[in-house]
Amino acid sequence: QESTMATVMMAAAVCALVGFSCPACGRMAAARARASSVVACAAVAASDDARVIGEHVRLDELSNEQLVRIVRLETTDEETNELAWRCLGYRRGASGAWDASDAFQKFRLKYPQPPDLIGVTRTYSKEIDEPVLRANQALHRSIPMAYKQGLKTQLKPLGFTGFKLANLTPNMTRRAQVTNWLLYYREALHGRTFGDVRRAKDEARQLEEAAAAQGVRAAPTGTSGQHVL
């Protein structure tokens, strides 16, 4: 068998040298590609199982007592942004620049630099505010339906009952949405490995597909396809 494989490999080398393509070489190339893909996937899985989400974020920073300060407008916009960025996986280097290498995939690809999620300029013209609005919406959409009521369940005992509609501002709305995501992050992501979260996402996708096959309409937000990974 080893002799046969050596012969095939030699033939493939000759074919490549003279620029000739034969079916056997094509099949062998495809097999090598599949094997390489399997090895690469295994390496990614092993890496994901070794990486823990939130290693640089302390849980006390995400306590209800700390998070309620965001919706009570007791934190600055910059502080709120930075906490969310760190939870998303962005890291500030020694130079002060932010690095997206460890950020969640969806945000890393779309936002190589951490996006303003609050609107620090408080300027709401479309050309300035549109990117802020879209980034905030992307964050909010990634919260699974089971965690959408985090503000009510977690912060109501601390006296937060929501904002009055008459006094509502974009800044308040975005603070609430960021806080809701931080509550979800604390409960479902922080301290878990990327592998665990990816598997949970895959399970959610399978459940969604099964529900869709039975004619159940998908939720508008919080689906596995909108996950931060």
Residues 144 and 169 placed together within one structural domain of the fold: yes
Residues 122 and 186 placed together within one structural domain of the fold: yes
Q: Is the dihedral of CA 56, 198, 177, 126 positive or negative?
A: positive
Q: Tell me: the pLDDT tens digits for 143-176?
A: 999 999 999 999 999 999 988 888 899 999 999 9
The pTM assigned to this predicted structure is 0.79
Q: Tell me: the pLDDT tens digits for 49-62?
A: 989 999 999 999 99
How much of the chain is helix, strand and coil, in % rounded to 5? Answer: 65, 5, 30
Distance between alpha carbon 218 and the CA centroid of its chain, in Å?
A: 20
Residues 111 and 140 placed together within one structural domain of the fold: yes
Residues 83 and 186 placed together within one structural domain of the fold: yes
Q: Tell me: the pLDDT tens digits for 66-113?
A: 999 999 999 999 999 999 999 999 999 999 999 999 999 999 999 999
Which structural domain range is residue 86 located in? 59-226
Residues 126 and 219 placed together within one structural domain of the fold: yes
pLDDT at residue number 42 = 52
- As for how many domains the chain has, the answer is 2
Q: Tell me: the pLDDT tens digits for 191-208?
A: 999 999 999 999 999 999
Residues 178 and 204 placed together within one structural domain of the fold: yes
CATH of the domain at 130: 1.10.418.90
Q: Do residues 117 and 178 lie in contact, with contact meaning Cβ atoms separated by under 8 Å? A: yes
